[in-house]
Structure 1
């Protein structure tokens, strides 16, 4: 992992969010630490981030950490994105993920036609302030679960929105994370998915982040979202998982 500049940069925010000193080691290695204040997961949960085949795992207590170390001994770190691995340590409650973590550089970015070409058949995204009232309708159309998953209400960047018949059909932005990382948020009205709207909105948000020398980060569980990221040039470097020990 230490020899891959892309993974090194991608690891920076996760190391800070772990809230205790951690390091992503060589591929196959996992570091399990006690961190009650970890922001890799909800409070009291176990947080897992795998990057470049190496893993960092935060546990809320020493006892939980000891159980995890015993359970994952001999397990390749790349497999720690699978919740089933942690059933060897304790019964599981709720599970968040696994979600793929993907990143793109300025050199690898492939802008969407609707973002770069006004004649491509997709309306060019407009720039709105974060929290603009017109975004409320998109949140309602998507439903609470999808809106919460997207996190568009948490962005610190402007919102980049595509309208259909005057209403916002898709929007994207990002939240500024530690390590000069731009964590993407993308949301599309369910009835209008599959038309390239998310790609156009996200492309504008990625362009904005790259212009500020930020590293765009795309976290997704849904295959359709992962395909949008891949179309924009994102490369999947790892996964994130949170599990609730019972």
Structure 2
């Protein structure tokens, strides 16, 4: 067990999401077969590195053995890097890597603002916001799946930035933030995220920020989130296809 509370809580969360017993072990990768894993899409291999420990899930025992032998000697930073993983495995497709960052009350650096309004996550103005941004941005944000209230900033009657969180296992709050393209660069993401993170902390939850784009990571760092690891999902080519290639 680590003496870092944020890292330990993150490891407990992702071990649960693996869907079968698995342990984060320092300077090692633990690979298990888990068809029901939530570390990745169904049928994929999911890899999560937290600190210097790595867990991975595979859809079946044979794939788990292949992944274990292929990645066993790679350090944690390389295991979630698609390039060295592609050198070791017949990768068809990847998702990520996405950084995993967490925040507690002691490290939280809120952005003060009186402009934030609280509305329902299913308010029609939220639907309108999601429709006004590129589909990829909306999907990346995860805002459509929040279970908390939505914390928003408006221009006139239009919502131009919003944040909230989805309740995850282990009393985790998975934070989502989205701004319209025209509203970016004005610090509004940090303002609405402040309200969402404060709401989660007041409820005794662990705020989690998962991000790929650097601008999103900068917002998280400004709020006091600490990056402790990353997640990568890989879709392997079928064995016969890999042999032919």
Q: TM-score, normalization: structure 1?
A: 0.93
Unaligned runs of 5+ in 2: 238-245
- The offset of 1:22, in angstroms, is 0.9
2:191 corresponds to: 200
- The offset of 1:12, in angstroms, is 2.0
The 3-state SS of whatever aligns with 2:124 is coil
Contact 1:2-1:25 at 8 Å conserved across structures: no
Contact 1:188-1:198 at 8 Å conserved across structures: yes
The 3-state SS of whatever aligns with 2:93 is strand
1:11 corresponds to: 11
- The offset of 1:131, in angstroms, is 1.2
- The offset of 1:89, in angstroms, is 4.2
Runs (4+) off by over 4 Å: none
Q: How far does the alpha carbon of each residue in 1:53-72 deviate from its partner, in whole angstroms, 9 at most, with x for none?
A: 21110011112111111111
Q: TM-score, normalization: structure 2?
A: 0.93
1:121 corresponds to: none
2:59 corresponds to: 60
Unaligned runs of 5+ in 1: 119-123
CA distance in 1, matches of 2:121, 2:89: 41
Which of 163, 171, 176 is equivalent to 1:180?
171
In the alignment, structure 1 residue 238 sits paired with structure 2 residue 237: no
The 3-state SS of whatever aligns with 1:207 is helix
Residues matched between the structures, number: 237
2:211 corresponds to: 220
CA distance in 1, matches of 2:15, 2:72: 22
CA distance in 1, matches of 2:143, 2:72: 39
In the alignment, structure 1 residue 135 sits paired with structure 2 residue 95: no
2:141 corresponds to: 150
- The offset of 1:30, in angstroms, is 1.0
CA distance in 1, matches of 2:190, 2:104: 17
In the alignment, structure 1 residue 99 sits paired with structure 2 residue 98: yes
Contact 1:55-1:78 at 8 Å conserved across structures: no
1:37 corresponds to: 36
Contact 1:52-1:237 at 8 Å conserved across structures: yes
Q: How far does the alpha carbon of each residue in 1:150-208 deviate from its partner, in whole angstroms, 9 at most, with x for none?
A: 11111110000111132100100001111110000111101110101111000000000
